Structure 1
Amino acid sequence: MEKLLRSGEVYFNTIEFFRKNDSGDHLRGDFAEGLKFSPLPNFRIPTLESQGIRFKNAKINEDTDISHLYSMYVVTNEFWQEQMHFDKKILEFGDYALLIKPREFVEKVLKIAKHEIKYGLASYYKTPTIPLSLNPFSKREEFKYQNEFRFVINSSSKEPIKIKIGDISDIATMIPTETLLKIKFLKK
Structure 2
Amino acid sequence: MSAPIIWYLIKFFTEERYAEQFMTGGLYLNTLEYFKKVETENSDGRIDSTEAVAAWLQPDDLKIKLNIPEIGDCEITKKDLAGPVCLSFDHHNYLHLFCMYAIYTTGFEAIDGKIDCAPEDVEDLQRQVKIDERCLKFGKFAVITPAAAFLDNLKKALKIQNYKATGKLVEYYDNEVFHGMIPMADIPFRKQKRFSYQREFRLCVDAGGKTDSALTINIGDISHICVKVDADKLPGLLEIKTEPVP
Report TM bin, short chain: 0.7 to 0.9
Instruction: Say how many residue pairs are matched.
Output: 177
- Give ranges in structure 2 of 5+ residues lacking alignment: 1-18, 58-62, 67-81, 107-122
- Counterpart of 1:95 (choices 140, 165, 172) is 140
Partner of 1:48: none
Question: What letter corresponds to residue 152 of structure 1 in structure 2?
Answer: C
- Counterpart of 2:64 (choices 35, 41, 52) is 41
Is the 1:21–1:28 Cα contact (8 Å) retained in structure 2?
no
Is the 2:44–2:138 Cα contact (8 Å) retained in structure 1?
no
- Give ranges in structure 1 of 5+ residues lacking alignment: 44-52
Question: What letter corresponds to residue 209 of structure 2 in structure 1?
Answer: S
Q: 1:83 to 1:38 in 2, by over 3 A?
A: closer
Q: Report whether the alignment pairs 1:9 with 2:26.
A: yes
- Counterpart of 2:152 (choices 104, 107, 111) is 107
What is the Cα deviation at residue 2 of structure 1? 1.5
**Cα deviation 1:81-128 (Å, max 9, x = unaligned):** 123221111221111211112122112222222311111100011123
**Cα deviation 1:7-44 (Å, max 9, x = unaligned):** 2111121111111263453432101001111789389x
Distance, in Å, in 2 between the alignment partners of 1:172 and 1:80 is 27
TM-score (norm 2): 0.64
TM-score (norm 1): 0.82
Q: 1:164 to 1:63 in 2, by over 3 A?
A: same
Moved more, 172-181 or 155-164: 155-164
Distance, in Å, in 2 between the alignment partners of 1:156 and 1:80 is 44
- Counterpart of 2:83 (choices 54, 76, 87) is 54
Name the % identity: 24
Aligned-pair Cα RMSD in Å: 2.5
**Cα deviation 1:118-177 (Å, max 9, x = unaligned):** 111000111233452331010111111111001111232422221011221111100111
Distance, in Å, in 2 between the alignment partners of 1:106 and 1:131 is 34
Is the 1:68–1:152 Cα contact (8 Å) retained in structure 2?
yes
Q: Report whether the alignment pairs 1:161 with 2:205.
A: no
Distance, in Å, in 2 between the alignment partners of 1:73 and 1:15 is 17
Q: More strand by proportion, 1 or 2? A: 2
Rg: which structure is higher? Answer: 2
* Equivalent residue runs for 1:61-76 within 5 Å: 61-76=89-104
Partner of 1:136: 188
Partner of 2:203: 151
Q: Report whether the alignment pairs 1:175 with 2:229.
A: yes
Moved more, 72-81 or 114-123: 72-81
Distance, in Å, in 2 between the alignment partners of 1:108 and 1:151 is 13
Determine helix, strand or coil for the equivalent of 1:75: strand
Determine helix, strand or coil for the equivalent of 1:104: helix
Q: 1:152 to 1:22 in 2, by over 3 A?
A: same
